[in-house]
Structure 1
Amino acid sequence: MHGTATRGREDDVALALEKDRLVFEFPEVHAAARMAVSFHRTLRVPDDGNTYPLPPGLGRFPLRAVAELDEAALPPSRRSHGGLVMPMWQSEACWLGFESRYPFLVKVGAGDVDALTGEPWSPEPDFEREDYLEVPAQPWLDGYVVAQGRVRQFVAMPLGSGYSVEEQLRSGPARGGIRVAACPMRAQRWEERAEFDSRRPLHAFAPAPAMGLGAGGSVDQGVATPVESHDAWDLDHRSVVEVRLVNSEQWRALTDEDPPTRPLAASDYTARGFPWFELYDETVARQGAAPLADVDTVADVGRRREESLPDNETVTVPEPVRIRPAPREPGRRG
């Protein structure tokens, strides 16, 4: 059942919300050209110099369309921009999940910074820099790509204090939030694939006025190098959406709903014997982006400001559960 329809600001293509999933649909390209994007609560791994396995998913963040809310509860600078809102606690981590059988080219921005390259955000793909993901080959993105096989978690922090990656790499006022752009594969290219089966259905899939994403602890995650030829993608059809991050007070004012409970600390999770994960993947992981590798993490900025990051103690994790996505389907975790 469809939820609220929304529209991207840069490209006027209809989107839908389904059970807190953002759904990109391109029926004019192909009936199967449909992809769901979800934003998952997760443990914030310690930023202690160690690299941790994949933390679990702890449920999806709720999403609401700005068009259906009282925008007077938003800061004046963020009104009349459309898009979605999502609540996050300060220093809470998240990861993005992608669900689709049909291939998509996907770009992710943290405010005005490309999360894969650290370059200025643009919804247009840069094929030379390979600043995009190929879905379903890439089922998740947990953070900024800082090295081959390693990312730094997306962590929500208030804007204006220098915590966000955007504030470190861009000049001028920070935009904050998360931006996602998607365009489908050309229908002819998809149908030429021998494994295509048109009968198979889509896989089920401290307060501050604005928040952005800082760089958190280090996580083992390979972000696959693109393999499709550039002309495989239907760049004439693209949809872009912006997800604004709001704190608990703003969420209540906008929706009359309570936000999710405060996130669980990694130490508490591990003490209870819950699992961590490792993705078994034979694809070639891309190299990290130099601009992102050099940014200060949330813990680095906190030390400079003499503000300690809570729940940042080193934890000893058990042997991670090894998972492998099924062929042509995104993997699940948590």
Structure 2
Amino acid sequence: MLDDLKITFHRTIRVPDNDETNDLPPSMGHFPLFSASDYAKKLPPNMAMKGGLFFPMYQHEAMWIEFESNKCYAIKIYVGNVNAISGEPATETAATSLRRRNLLKNNVNIQDYVVVPGQKWLDGIAVELGKVRQFVAMPVGSGYSVEAQATGEETTAGLQFEIIRLDPPLRKSEPDEGYTISIFISDEKTMDLSVNPSTTLGYVRGLVADAMGLPVNDLRLLYAGKHLDYNKTLHSLGITSGATLCSWERLFAGGCSEMALAVGGRIRQNINEHRKTTRQKTNTITFNVQILNSASFQSVTGRAPPPTPISAETYASYGFPFFTLSEEPTSVSGDFSSVQSIGQIDKTADPALNFPTVDAGTGLPLTDAEVEEVGFLNPKGAKRQFKFVWEMAQDINRAATTAI
């Protein structure tokens, strides 16, 4: 729980990995979450260093993510170091800007985040308009993960979240008096930033991470030799004009007990578009959610792992349903052309299964004729430094104009 945002990781069945597209699979219970700091001495060192949370998964097990809140949030989700919505790397490069520029020329949406409320669930990576490929756990180093296929490396694994709350616009008050602070990056480089007393340290961290080409959660800032709360303002931390902060990068390595996310079958699911808003960004909150294989889970936590999940074949044999949700059409998906599903890599296709379909809102069964897209969602809210989709477009257009 962050503020009033609740994120739940659901166990589920693997949908058939073939040429068909499936309705939404059910929840088979929640994954238990544990703090990495509580088990730092027993976790693999690479997982202990990354911190955050972890939960157990079996090889080939599937999961989906649920979002619940009353306030508005924008959320970036990274599978390893690959954005689950856009397919772009967490550390953006010149190639990222070029790809986005070409997409904008073709009037393609470059949104790389989800907006809550509005986006109730995320079952996988956004491979096509209105379709995702299911999140499925595979061992780090196996070559199946989205990260390994998209980048050729597997340095991060697990999931990373970047979250900002979107507040209603503030009434204008007396402006804060601006001043300059410095960020010590290396012996040869110092970065000066214009700030004001109400600027949060998290906002400064985002600017520095962008300038250094790092994911926000890989950067640490120290002042007077101390780690500080990124949620607090510079004024409350006593960081005044002429102050110098030090930056350092956290480095991680891989590990054999760690799981990464690959993808399986297709699921019908829209990524809700974020329409332009006047809501104000707050500071970015980032955290890791790591995945430990179930074979190592008991030795780390002293608890028995959850039972193995039910198969799709068994679920179908009992006549249990999949679910559908009426959604407005979407223009949001990513470029995952280099990513194959487990079945595609193994050159196998799961048999087609017939599941009855139930409306996720009413719980009533649907006939095939009733399963249609209906416009009813109009997500509120706005969305590293964390940029809204229109801000990314403005940056790209500005860079193109400057280059002429």
Tell me whether the two structures share a fold, i.e. TM-score over 0.5: yes
Aligned counterpart, 1:280: 326
User: Which of 320, 344, 368 pairs up with 1:300?
Assistant: 344
1:317 Cα deviation after fit: 1.5
Pair 1:101-2:101 in alignment: no
Q: SS at 1:54's partner residue?
A: coil
Q: SS at 1:144's partner residue?
A: strand
Pair 1:65-2:35 in alignment: yes
User: Which of 39, 57, 69 pairs up with 2:9?
Assistant: 39
Cα gap change, 1:224/1:328 in structure 2, threshold over 3 Å: closer, same or farther? closer
Aligned counterpart, 1:7: none
Q: Deviations over 1:73-94 (max 9, x none)?
A: 3222222221011100101111
Pair 1:80-2:49 in alignment: yes
1:255 Cα deviation after fit: 1.3
Bigger Cα displacement from structure 2, 99-108 vs 71-80 = 71-80
Pair 1:219-2:275 in alignment: no
User: Which of 314, 326, 350 pairs up with 1:268?
Assistant: 314
Separation in 1, partners of 2:42, 2:71:
38
Q: Deviations over 1:21-73 (max 9, x none)?
A: xx112xxxxxxxx201010011100111111111001111000001111x233
Cα gap change, 1:114/1:233 in structure 2, threshold over 3 Å: closer, same or farther? farther
Cα gap change, 1:228/1:140 in structure 2, threshold over 3 Å: closer, same or farther? farther
User: Which of 317, 321, 334 pairs up with 1:289?
Assistant: 334
1:106 Cα deviation after fit: 0.7
Aligned partner of 2:359: which letter? R
Pair 1:157-2:138 in alignment: yes
Asked if the contact 1:251/1:257 (under 8 Å) is kept, the reply is yes
Q: Structure 2, unaligned stretches of length 5 or more?
A: 101-108, 172-254, 363-375, 380-404
User: Which of 307, 316, 333 pairs up with 2:354?
Assistant: 316
Aligned partner of 2:113: which letter? Y
Q: Deviations over 1:102-147 (max 9, x none)?
A: 1100111101000001111269xx9972101010110000000011
Separation in 2, partners of 1:55, 1:88:
17
Aligned ranges 1:1-20 → 2 under 5 Å:
none
Cα gap change, 1:122/1:105 in structure 2, threshold over 3 Å: closer, same or farther? farther
Cα gap change, 1:24/1:228 in structure 2, threshold over 3 Å: closer, same or farther? farther
Aligned partner of 2:261: which letter? L
Aligned partner of 1:112: which letter? N
Separation in 2, partners of 1:248, 1:254:
10
Aligned partner of 1:209: which letter? S
Asked if the contact 1:105/1:233 (under 8 Å) is kept, the reply is no
User: Which of 81, 88, 96 pairs up with 1:112?
Assistant: 81
TM normalised by structure 2 equals 0.62
Asked if the contact 2:138/2:259 (under 8 Å) is kept, the reply is yes
Aligned counterpart, 1:232: 279
Asked if the contact 1:39/1:61 (under 8 Å) is kept, the reply is yes
Separation in 2, partners of 1:228, 1:324:
27
Q: SS at 1:80's partner residue?
A: helix
Cα gap change, 1:101/1:300 in structure 2, threshold over 3 Å: closer, same or farther? same
Separation in 1, partners of 2:337, 2:55:
27
Separation in 2, partners of 1:81, 1:287:
30
Pair 1:24-2:62 in alignment: no
Separation in 2, partners of 1:122, 1:64:
27
1:287 Cα deviation after fit: 3.6
Q: SS at 1:280's partner residue?
A: coil
Separation in 1, partners of 2:85, 2:52:
22
1:227 Cα deviation after fit: 1.6
1:233 Cα deviation after fit: 3.8
1:189 Cα deviation after fit: 6.8
Separation in 1, partners of 2:2, 2:285:
7
- Tell me how large the CA RMSD over aligned residues is: 2.7
Pair 1:55-2:35 in alignment: no
User: Which of 299, 303, 322 pairs up with 1:253?
Assistant: 299
Q: SS at 2:49's partner residue?
A: coil
Point out the structure with the larger helix share.
2
Pair 1:241-2:287 in alignment: yes
TM normalised by structure 1 equals 0.74
1:278 Cα deviation after fit: 0.3
Aligned partner of 1:243: which letter? V
Aligned partner of 1:24: which letter? L
Larger Rg: 2
1:275 Cα deviation after fit: 1.5
Q: Deviations over 1:240-299 (max 9, x none)?
A: 110110011321122111111101111100111111100112x33134222x14411111
